[in-house]
Amino acid sequence: MSQPENTTTQATALTNHDRKPIHIPGSIQPHGILLALSTQLEIVQVSNNTQVYLCKAPEDLLGRPLSYLLEPQPVEIVKQCLVKKVGSANAFKVLINTLYGEIYFDAIAHRTEEAVILELEPTDSEFEVSFLNFHSFASEAIAKMQRTSNLGEFLHLVAQEVQKIISFDRVMVYQFDESEAGSVVAEVKREDLSPYLGLHYPATDIPAQARELYTRCFLRFLPDLTAEPVKLVPTENPTTHQHLDLSYCLLRSFDWCCAEYHQNMGVKALLVISLIQEQKLWGLISCHHQTPKYISYEVRKMCEFLGQIVSSELAHKISSSEWDYKVKLKSLQSEFLESISQADNFIDALIKPEIRLLDFVSASGAAVCLDNEINLVGTTPNIDEVRALIEWADTQVTDNLFSTDSLPKLYPEALIFKDTASGLLLLRISKVRRYYILWFRPEVIQTVHWAGNPQESIKAEGDGSYTLSPRKSFEQWQETVRLTSLPWKGCELESAIALSNAIVGIVLSKADELAKINLELERSNQELASFAYAASHDLKEPLRGIYNFSTVLLEDYAQVLDDDGIECLQTVVSLSVRMETLINALLRLSQLGQAHLREQATDLNELLNQVIDVFRASRQDSGLVDIRIPRPLPTIQCDRVLVNEVFSNLLGNAFKYNDKAEQWVEIGYLSQEEGQGVGSRGQGAGGAGEAIIHQSPIPNAPCPIFYIRDNGIGIPQHHLETIFRLFKRLHSQEKYGGGAGAGLAIVKKIVELHNGQIWVESTLGVGSIFYFTLE
């Protein structure tokens, strides 16, 4: 329920009012007397009306032991309070001899921080309400309430039963909302009085310190709002040298603002019973009478007991529909969280099917934001509006869970999409990454009926400050509330928190699982690399023996062999040479698997010149080689020996697989901006060596994209995904100079050691472009 407009002024006035120390008024109501006692039960402070009730002036009592006034048995009862916790009370009847004769009092002693406070209220007799009468009435009232399941009917019955006990002109049940404002939800009244049922009251009507006292003391009784308060003597407590804390005192006097407020309503006597739900102030049973009216202590205790029964029943009566709704949410939570915990991609599990994410908090739309990726579900603002809203939340929202039913009042830009998002529930999943879930609710125009114009309570002072003063009129006053949605319920906020906890748990679980897999893979890779190295190294010795013995047979025993025998030996020699080439490639690859980079600032122009010099020296037709470098290459951090091998392999392949009369190779790089048009399937460390043509660009590449372009034979499209595999050749051993088919596998391994990527684009018969990054 919305608060009235002009909330800044009202909040200022309310803050000022909330500072008033109503728990230490320094006075009590005049229908009883108060004695403040020390730990030795000596009277250290009294109310200034002891002469009226006890025929003893305050001076006659101060400094006296309590036994001066009471018999030993009641003194012992008071003494028992000293060992109890603060606020605990003992109530009993006491007979005191005065000049007027013997007078019965209701005595209430309660423990304070300092010692004990004893309150005495005169009563007509030793017993006023018998236990049997009380039990009979309470049992009947409780039975009626337990038979009623509907919350509205239950609260109306509560008002009726309290009205039977105290016979006040009006008994109302007043319920607080999330903003601490309240409304009358049940009422029993005298027929000639104007109804208050359904009217709303701002939070300023019952300030925070008053609400706090209602949570400590479950009953407040003011029998005469016109009565003058009675001061305490002395003003300050001698033990603490401060005003006496009367938080738990039944006789505590009332604030003038409270008296004027109710007198403006025509009320002269007031009884208020607290209703507590889940250790919070849910509401009040507020009882008004048009004339002063005293109620005995026993009857008040009956009302307090009834209030405690009502509070306990509220847990069962908070509308069956709301209970069903909570059960529905819990069921949905369980199903939803289980599904996303088992999903490989929890983002897909969140938004498919979309209705689950919306039903989770009863929203009409939602947005799931993971860094720059935003998925919209249901009825929402557009992508740009959601992105701007998240930017605002980044700077304005500090909590992981934030909700408002009036987003445009906090974020004016939301006015343009109020029809879809006047209400916002925002869940921040991660503070490190921009991970959010936002739920939206549309605007719901409401008409609120206030008990008088709440703004009349705010009074401007001469110094420019604002204070609260009781308004004069409580006639129904209508306000049309716009730019608000239905409020978010507590159970819906709990659902959002449960979702956050589940997602965090899933992410941590997946991360832990991935870490274990990576650790096992790393161990396996190390073992495999060690095995490959050992195997390839150890294989070379017997292979060399096979080669040597075969060569000896061909040279020394050729005359004793026929042509077939010589041909077989020549084949053995050829195969052993081929096998040694393969073993050397495997050995090199296994060495790379165990290598540690020796990174240093490397001028790639200098490195490339060395590669080209070696390349030209190794080719007899070097004069026909056309190597183009459009612009100087940058200086980067890398292992210069390994990167030399990358350029050497790629440059060698570019000319090796080229059948053109005029061969050329271009070596260059693309900046981050230029690289936005270059496609990759993300072949980083551990990739499968795939490559495709014209896929999505590499986003925000942190380093240049190097390329080697040629006008060679090109690569068929169906082979682009396999050329980086070890020992993979696309041609027979006799064509294009043979080779082990390990060069590109080695290049890929070196690029991956630099946390880079490598891929290829190619057109058959036209040429190829090899791209790679070194991060």
Flag whether pLDDT at 235 surpasses 90: yes
Give 555-562 contacts, CB < 8 A, sequence gap 24+. none
Picking from 45-54, 132-141, 454-463, which range would have the lowest pLDDT averaged per residue?
Answer: 454-463
Cα separation of 543 and 575, whole Å? 10
The model's pLDDT over 667-684, given as tens digits with 9 standing for 90+, comes to: 999 876 666 556 544 333
Q: Helices then strands (H, E): number in the chain? A: 20, 29
Q: Percentage of the chain surpassing pLDDT 70?
A: 69
Q: What is the pLDDT of residue 12?
A: 46
Q: Which two tokens stand for residue 335?
A: 């199903």
pLDDT at 105: 94
* Bond into 207 cis (ω within 30): no
Q: Which helix (H) or strand (E) holds 710?
A: strand 705-710
Identify the residue with better confidence: 102 or 540: 102
C-alpha span between 216 and 313 (Å, rounded) = 19
Which range, 117-121, 321-325, 488-492, is most confident? 117-121
End-to-end C-alpha distance for the chain, whole angstroms: 56
Closest CA to 311 of 268, 273, 262: 273
Confidence of residue 5 (pLDDT cuts 50, 70, 90): very low
CB 215 within 8 Å of CB 40: no
Q: Which two tokens stand for residue 207?
A: 């300030």
Q: What is the mean pLDDT of residues 206-235?
A: 93
Spatial separation of the C-alpha atoms in residues 72 and 505, rounded to whole Å:
64
DSSP 8-state secondary structure symbol assigned to residue 721: T
Chain-wide mean pLDDT for the chain? 78
CA atoms within 13 A on the CB side of 293: 18
pLDDT band at 110 (very low <50, low <70, confident <90, very high): very high
By mean pLDDT, which of 101-105, 400-404, 489-493 is the weakest? Answer: 489-493
For 524-581, the three-class secondary structure string (H helix, E strand, C coil) is: HHHHHHHHHHHHHHHHHHHHHHHHHHHHHHHHHCHHHCCHHHHHHHHHHHHHHHHHHH
pLDDT of 456 over the 60 cut: no
DSSP 366-430: EEEEETTEEEEEES---HHHHHHHHHHHHHH--SSEEEES-HHHH-GGGGGGHHHHSEEEEEEEE
The pair of structure tokens assigned to 405 is: 């039913």
The pLDDT assigned to 450 comes to 47
Measure the CA–CA gap between 138 and 165, rounded to whole angstroms. Answer: 10
Contact 582, 574 (CB under 8 A): no
Q: Which of 472-486, 528-542, 675-689, 751-765 has the lowest mean pLDDT?
A: 675-689
What is the percentage of the chain residues whose pLDDT exceeds 90? 29
At position 169, the amino acid (one-letter code) is D
Residue-level pLDDT at 245: 94
Q: Is the pLDDT of residue 25 over 70?
A: yes
- pLDDT confidence bin for 574, thresholds 50/70/90: low
The answer to whether 657 and 729 have CB atoms below 8 angstroms apart is no
153-162, 532-541, 596-605, 607-616: range with lowest mean pLDDT: 532-541
Angle at 247 between CA 80 and CA 300, to 5 degrees: 75
* Rg (the chain; Cα; Å): 44
Amino acid identity, position 526: Q
Q: What are the two backbone dihedrals, phi and then psi, of residue 641, each rounded to the nearest 5 degrees?
A: -65, -45
Rounded CA separation 31/249 (Å): 13
pLDDT at site 533: 56
CA–centroid distance for 702 within its chain: 33
Highest average pLDDT, of 25-39, 88-102, 643-657, comes from: 25-39
pLDDT at 70: 94
CB 377 within 8 A of CB 366: yes
Q: Which domains does the chain have, with CATH numbers?
A: 22-126+226-266 (3.30.450.20), 129-225+267-318 (3.30.450.40), 322-444 (3.30.450.270), 495-591 (1.10.287), 597-773 (3.30.565.10)
Mean pLDDT of 207-214: 89
Residue with tokens 């919070």: 280
Mean pLDDT for the stretch of residues 684-706: 44
* Contact indicator for 43, 63 with CB cutoff of 8 Å: yes
Sheet order of strands, 767-773 included: 626-628, 664-670, 705-710, 767-773, 758-763
Residue 618 makes CB contacts below 8 A (sequence gap 6+) with: none
pLDDT of residue 731: 43
| Structure confidence at residue 464 (pLDDT) | 53
pLDDT tens profile 713-762? 888 876 666 677 654 444 444 454 444 456 788 788 888 888 888 888 88
pLDDT at 2: 41
This model's pTM is above 0.75 = no
Which residue type is seen at 473? Answer: S
- Predicted local confidence at residue 151, as pLDDT: 83
3-state DSSP percent of the chain in helix, strand and coil, to 5: 45, 25, 35
Token pair in block for residue 444:
């719901």
pLDDT value at 334 more than 70? no
